[in-house]
């Protein structure tokens, strides 16, 4: 059975620079049949998204910010997610946000038997991360710029700050290893 996914992006909360790698990652889990991004498109801050939306066939959903500081975009995403859930057209959801306001939505979708993939930045609060079946950090998807790569043939010394590793860092590393491991649980590093 093909896995059809609804991809719902919080445009107020996710930088446009991650879209290409994000869509490639989502394709590993299923066919993104519904792709929507939510935001106030009258806001110049979202202007960088225009070409990216066209290149990736992502439908922009206009949501005016009726009152400053309120979550109008979040509410629109939640309403659409529930409509999509009851349409029966998808087997899973990708909620793209670094906002813990989607924790209950992820839980509710899972209760309905949906596979839920969360995608966001490292700053994403833990309640949203654990509410998803799988959470993918955008920072691990972004390829480094060629200008910053080290073309030197000489190995460089790496300083170790093992004492500074936090529990959140350990969860990030465990998730990353899980992302690249095979069916037997082996992750080949190199």
Query: Residue 117 has what pLDDT?
Result: 98
163 part of a folded domain: no
Q: What is the CATH number of the domain that holds 64?
A: 3.40.50.1010
User: Which positions of the chain have pLDDT values less than 70?
Assistant: 1, 66-70, 143-164, 181-190
Which range of residues forms the domain containing residue 20?
Answer: 4-143
185 part of a folded domain: no
Query: Residue 119 has what pLDDT?
Result: 97
CA dist 168 to 47, 53, 140, 165, Å? 33, 32, 15, 8
List the helix and strand counts (H, then E) for the chain: 7, 6
CA dist 186 to 38, 182, 189, Å? 38, 6, 10
Distance (Å, whole) CA 84 – CA 66: 24
pLDDT (tens digit per residue) in 77-106: 999 999 999 999 999 999 999 999 999 999
Radius of gyration of the chain (CA): 18
55 part of a folded domain: yes
Please tell me the total count of domains within the chain: 1
Query: Residue 142 has what pLDDT?
Result: 77
158 part of a folded domain: no
């Amino acid at each position: 059975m093909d896995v059809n996914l609804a991809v719902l992006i919080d445009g107020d909360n996710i930088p446009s620079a991650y879209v290409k790698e994000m869509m490639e990652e989502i394709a590993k889990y299923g066919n993104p049949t519904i792709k929507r991004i939510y935001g106030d498109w009258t806001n110049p801050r979202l202007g960088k998204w225009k070409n990216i939306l066209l290149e990736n066939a992502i439908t922009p959903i206009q949501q005016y910010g009726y009152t400053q500081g309120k979550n109008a975009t979040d509410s629109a995403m939640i309403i659409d997610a529930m409509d999509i859930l009851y349409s029966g057209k998808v087997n899973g959801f990708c909620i793209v946000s670094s906002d813990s306001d989607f924790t209950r939505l992820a839980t509710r979708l899972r209760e309905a038997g949906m596979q839920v993939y969360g995608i966001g930045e490292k700053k994403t609060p833990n309640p949203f991360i654990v509410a998803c079946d799988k959470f993918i950090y955008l920072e691990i998807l972004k390829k480094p710029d060629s200008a910053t790569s080290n073309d030197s043939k000489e190995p460089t010394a790496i300083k170790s700050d093992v004492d500074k590793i936090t529990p959140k860092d350990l969860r990030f590393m465990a998730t990353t290893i899980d992302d690249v491991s095979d069916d037997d649980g082996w992750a080949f590093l190199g």
